[in-house]
A = this chain, B = another copy of it.
Amino acid sequence: MMPDLAPPQESDGEARLAALAVLAQHARDLTDAVALTDVPERELRAVTAELAALTDRLGAARRTAPAQPDIGPDGRFRHLGNAVVGDTNPHALPLVIERRPEGGVRAGITFRPVHEGPPGLVHGGVSAMILDHLLGEAVAASGRAAMTGTLSLRYRKPIPYGTPVVGTAAVGRTEGRKTWVDGMIALPDGTPLVEATGLFITPSQWAEVVLGG
CB contacts (< 8 Å) of A189 on chain B: these are none
CB contacts (< 8 Å) of A63 on chain B: these are 36-38
* B58→A39 contact, CB < 8 A: yes
Is A173 interfacial (CB 8 A cutoff)?
no
Give the residues from 19 to 67 in chain A that come closer than 8 angstroms, CB to CB, to chain B.
19-20, 22-24, 26-27, 29-31, 33-41, 43-48, 50-52, 54-55, 57-67
* A58→B83 contact, CB < 8 A: no
- Tell me how far the C-beta of A147 lies from the nearest C-beta in chain B, rounded to whole angstroms: 6
- Tell me how far the C-beta of A136 lies from the nearest C-beta in chain B, rounded to whole angstroms: 7
* B60→A39 contact, CB < 8 A: yes
Instruction: Name A residues whose Cβ lies closer than 8 Å to a Cβ of B.
Output: 1-2, 6, 11, 13, 15-16, 19-20, 22-24, 26-27, 29-31, 33-41, 43-48, 50-52, 54-55, 57-69, 81-84, 86, 88-91, 113-120, 122-126, 128-133, 136, 147-155, 158
